[in-house]
């Protein structure tokens, strides 16, 4: 069978496959969900009694030729660096970008993958992803400049507020001196008269 037919067959088999969860998972909150083989002496699931969950069995497996492949038919390879990306075979392997990548390195990997003709399996549209990344970088820069401008204006306002009371105090001190001088002059003029 060809790879495409095997991938279709795998999809059909997976649609029929039951969910393999742990025995009595639904009864107690302390039992975790992931599959564990039932080992109980009287376990109905281990004995494969009717009406109980199915056990994991090799017959549920996918065809060996397409086992572990991406639905597109490529072998998924996890990528974190440009060196790892350059080693990929574009015909049989597809890149999966690591989730811990930062935006600049992610952009670099996407552009390199586009140049090499390597398919990125966890990105739907490479061009749209690159455009969105560039837009977000521009938005971040604008936000950063806006925040710095706001900080500068607040600092200037704070300086102006701190300087104004000093000026006001100086003005009031000068006015008090003038008033005192005028009062003294009045008193002196009244005595002399």
What's the pTM?
Answer: 0.66
Q: Which of 72-86, 130-144, 161-175 has the lowest mean pLDDT?
A: 161-175
With a cut of 80, say whether residue 95 has pLDDT above it.
Answer: yes
pLDDT, mean of residues 18-25? 91
Helix, strand, coil percentages in the chain from 3-state DSSP, rounded to 5: 55, 5, 40
Residues 22 and 34 sit within 8 Å (Cβ to Cβ): yes
Q: What is residue 77's three-state secondary structure? A: strand
Residues 84 and 101 sit within 8 Å (Cβ to Cβ): no
pLDDT, mean of residues 142-146? 95
Quick one: pLDDT band at residue 138, thresholds 50, 70, 90?
Answer: very high
Long-range contacts at 53-59 (CB < 8 A, ≥ 24 apart): 53/18, 53/20, 53/21, 53/23, 54/18, 54/20, 55/20, 56/20
Quick one: pLDDT band at residue 176, thresholds 50, 70, 90?
Answer: confident
Alpha-carbon gap, residue 50 to 47, rounded angstroms: 9
Q: Specify the pLDDT at position 177.
A: 84
Summarised one tens digit per residue, pLDDT across range 57-84 is: 999 999 999 999 999 999 999 999 999 9
Report which of 66, 76, 82 is spatially closest to residue 121, judged by C-alpha positions. 76
Where are the chain's structural domains?
74-170
Q: Specify the pLDDT at position 83.
A: 95
Quick one: pLDDT band at residue 193, thresholds 50, 70, 90?
Answer: low
Q: Which of 10-14, 40-44, 86-90, 174-178 has the lowest mean pLDDT?
A: 174-178
């Amino acid at each position: 069978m060809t790879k495409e037919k095997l991938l279709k067959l795998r999809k059909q088999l997976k649609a029929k496959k039951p969910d393999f969860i742990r025995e009595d998972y639904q009864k107690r909150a302390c039992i975790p969900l992931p599959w564990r083989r039932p080992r109980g002496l009287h376990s109905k699931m281990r004995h494969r009694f009717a009406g109980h969950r199915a056990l994991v069995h090799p017959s549920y497996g996918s065809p060996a030729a397409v086992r572990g492949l991406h639905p597109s038919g490529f072998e998924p390879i996890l990528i974190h660096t440009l060196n790892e990306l350059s080693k990929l075979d574009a015909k049989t392997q597809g890149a999966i970008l690591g989730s811990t990548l930062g935006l600049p390195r992610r952009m670099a990997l996407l552009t390199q993958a586009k140049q090499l003709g390597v398919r990125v399996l966890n990105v739907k549209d490479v061009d749209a992803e690159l455009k969105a990344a560039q837009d977000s970088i521009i938005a971040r820069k604008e936000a950063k400049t806006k925040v710095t401008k706001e900080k500068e204006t607040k600092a200037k306002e704070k300086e102006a507020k701190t300087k104004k009371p000093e000026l006001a105090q100086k003005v009031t001190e000068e006015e008090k001196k003038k008033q005192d001088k005028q009062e003294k002059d009045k008193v002196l003029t009244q005595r002399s008269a």
